[in-house]
Structure 1
Amino acid sequence: AHVGLQARLMSQALRKITGSIGKSQCTVIFLNQLRQKIGISYGNPEVTTGGNALKFYASVRLDIRRIQTLKKGTEEYGIRAKVKVAKNKVAPPFRIGEFDILFGQGISTMGCLIDLAEQTGVVTRKGAWYSYEGDNIGQGRENTIQRFIEDPEFAQKVELQVKEKLDIGGVAELDTNLDEDEIEIEEELLEEDE
């Protein structure tokens, strides 16, 4: 009897609140679940509930999936998640990333730091050992994370080197050293425009 009611309500609500969200500079997060379409032989059979309005109005859409359960012995303490950026109006879309989500804590920043340090070559791994500038800093990922937690100055030093390698947080400099020829060409172009 109420076919498409949720989709219609979502569309009406999003039309009304979109302007207010932009003016207030707030972030609104919607969590949704996947359902399976029945009888789909081609394409992705997974669909989010609530119609297409949310897909349209969203600035960023992330597809987050658990790829591994993190355990200490038999005790589960977190998950390894893979994130695909399905839509992004504010940065490049279709990027993929992995990170640890620890129960009761959130995203493991030290785990992310170790992953990035290894990818950029700041920290190297041979077998189970992680090393920094030739010195072993931990056997196994968990011990290396613990080392970073116990020595925040060391972790910050590694983080700065990773940011430097990734060119994050640098200050862009303008090239003010133009040749006289370049200045003359620019002046000629300006005169042609007039």
Structure 2
Amino acid sequence: MASAADIAKSLAGAIGANDEEVTVSQFLPSGFPPLDHASNSSWDLGAFPVGRMIEIAGPPSSGKTALATAGMAGAQKMGGIAGFMDHERSFSLRLAPRLGLDTTPGRFIFKTPKTFEESLQICVVAANHVRKNKLIAKDAPICWVFDSLAAMVPQSAYYEMKAGKVVGVKSLEDRNMNDNTALARATSNAFPAFAQHCEDLGICAIFLNQMRTDLNVKFGDPRKTTGGNAPEFYFSQRLWLSASQIKKGTDIIGMEVTGKYKKNKIARPFQEASWRFEFQEDGTGKFNRFRSLIEFLEGLDLIKKGKQTGTVEWDGKTYPKATLSNTLEAEGDKGFAKLTALLPANYEPPVVAEIDAEIDEDAAIAA
């Protein structure tokens, strides 16, 4: 009988040696350490994995696009480029720079494709061209956002086809039940190959998605997303957002957003983070990472609560949380670094800590 080493040597001559394990070595920053930690158990690696397809889904006005824009801006800061497919026809090139995105052509690619297939093809062709011609560094990331999967129309549902050729645009009257399930078939057909392209070309593909309610679910979470079953398997991460209103008097000034990883093939699933998404006068939404991180640290008792509601202790003084947030934000990165310096080296998310405590309690009872 041959030894393992002899078998490996013989097989190497026939099919080559074993391939290396495929892992994620690069992440795009979200700008919010608790979300980064929920993604990959690290405060500073970033949140969005390069080389993978991910989903960000949530209700309207919950900051999905703002979160994806943070990823695009992060890719640019790392020497890469960003692309945005505006299927919902709602992206503002005028307002995006206020969220940190460089919309200069060449640094940013903006397209309004008509179909699902055209959208994926543009992404792959552009990324191939960039990599082949060495237009950016080899390890520089590409971030591509699709807004949204729910709004992507399959070619078979948009065009009238005869003998495999496009003969015109399909009228609304000609749509049928087959068109209603076309997107599910399109994702099932395209996503296996597209996932491979993302890995080969160093693309972080972020698919924004809309929520639907599954009326057949009587117990548990009735929410679901569009695109059929294929996305559940091919998205490496599925970040689902829920939101509640932030009010000042009777005015709704923002949303308190909680992001939970319903699926995570990078780290533990079901971890979550919460942050404030505040509406601005110019029509944009602000991901208030300063105020959000202050409240996160307050929850861990790393920033002490003040005696009055809504206040905290900082440098021996009592500040309203809004005032402290604005003061640190005025200091820019230096101010944010003062907050991140308080993050604990060892951190167990509450859900993990609770499970560990239950296991310890059960073990003690058994003993």
Q: TM-score with structure 2 length normalisation?
A: 0.40
Output the amino acid matched with 1:8: R
Output the amino acid matched with 1:145: S
Offset, 1:134: 3.2
**What residue number does 1:65 align with?**
242
- 1:121 is paired with a residue of what secondary structure? coil
Report if aligned partners of 1:123, 1:133 keep a CA contact under 8 Å in 2.
Answer: no
CA distance in 2, matches of 1:121, 1:69: 23
Q: 2:303 aligns with which of 100, 103, 123?
A: 123
CA distance in 2, matches of 1:122, 1:133: 13
Answering whether residue 258 of structure 2 is matched by residue 78 of structure 1, we say: no
**What residue number does 2:228 align with?**
51
Report if aligned partners of 2:329, 2:335 keep a CA contact under 8 Å in 1.
Answer: no
Offset, 1:82: 1.1
Answering whether residue 178 of structure 2 is matched by residue 5 of structure 1, we say: no
Answering whether residue 198 of structure 2 is matched by residue 18 of structure 1, we say: no
- 1:9 is paired with a residue of what secondary structure? helix
- 2:245 is paired with a residue of what secondary structure? strand
Report if aligned partners of 2:260, 2:271 keep a CA contact under 8 Å in 1.
Answer: yes
Offset, 1:55: 0.8
**What residue number does 1:176 align with?**
none
**What residue number does 1:166 align with?**
345
CA distance in 2, matches of 1:44, 1:78: 24
| 1:10-41 Cα distance to aligned partner (Å, 9 max, x none) | 11111221111011121111122222233443
CA distance in 2, matches of 1:88, 1:40: 23
CA distance in 1, matches of 2:240, 2:230: 17
Q: RCO greater where, 1 or 2, for CA within 8 Å and sep 6 or more?
A: 2
Number of positions where the alignment pairs a residue of Structure 1 with one of Structure 2:
163
Offset, 1:143: 1.6
**What residue number does 2:59 align with?**
none
CA distance in 1, matches of 2:335, 2:192: 49
Structure whose CA Rg is larger: 1
CA distance in 1, matches of 2:192, 2:254: 37
Report if aligned partners of 1:59, 1:89 keep a CA contact under 8 Å in 2.
Answer: yes
Evaluate the alpha carbon distance shift between residue 47 and residue 122 of structure 1 in structure 2; reply closer, same or farther with a 3 A threshold: closer
Evaluate the alpha carbon distance shift between residue 105 and residue 37 of structure 1 in structure 2; reply closer, same or farther with a 3 A threshold: closer
**What residue number does 1:29 align with?**
206
Answering whether residue 269 of structure 2 is matched by residue 96 of structure 1, we say: no
CA distance in 1, matches of 2:330, 2:315: 19
Alignment RMSD:
2.4
**What residue number does 1:181 align with?**
none
Offset, 1:80: 1.1
Evaluate the alpha carbon distance shift between residue 18 and residue 39 of structure 1 in structure 2; reply closer, same or farther with a 3 A threshold: closer
CA distance in 1, matches of 2:244, 2:330: 28
Percent identity of the aligned residues? 25
- 1:29 is paired with a residue of what secondary structure? strand
